[in-house]
Amino acid sequence: MDKKIVTINVTWEDNYSAWCDILPGCVAVDKTLSGVKKGMISAIEFHLEGMQKDGDAIPKEFQGEYEFAFRFDV
């Protein structure tokens, strides 16, 4: 199964932020690590649904089966 990399870092306010390089502008922020992971997955799903409804092409990286791999940006 193909893995999509989600990058996580700690903000200066002790929150977590996450983004995925292959979906610019799709981000999530939460006070907990588990919360930002869940939020990012939801944000990506929402983003892809919106693209589909708007008639935009879904990036080839998100066609077919995939899972998320989270990495920290230190």
Domain extent at residue 32:
2-72
- Label residue 1 by pLDDT band (50, 70, 90): confident
Measured CA distances, 58 to 1, 20, 51, 67 (Å): 18, 15, 7, 16
CA 63 vs CA 3, 14, 52: distances in Å: 12, 34, 12
In this predicted structure, the answer to whether residue 12 has a pLDDT above a threshold of 90 is no
Question: How does DSSP assign 8-34, residue by residue?
Answer: EEE-TTS-EEEE-TTSTT-EEEESSHH
Report the CATH number that the domain containing residue 40 is assigned in CATH.
Answer: 3.30.160.250
C-alpha closest to that of 18 among 46, 39, 3: 39
Q: pTM of this prediction? A: 0.88
pLDDT at 74 over 80: no
Number of domains comprising the chain: 1
Mean pLDDT confidence for 50-74: 92
Mean pLDDT value of segment 23-45: 95
Integer Cα distance of 2 and 31 in angstroms: 28
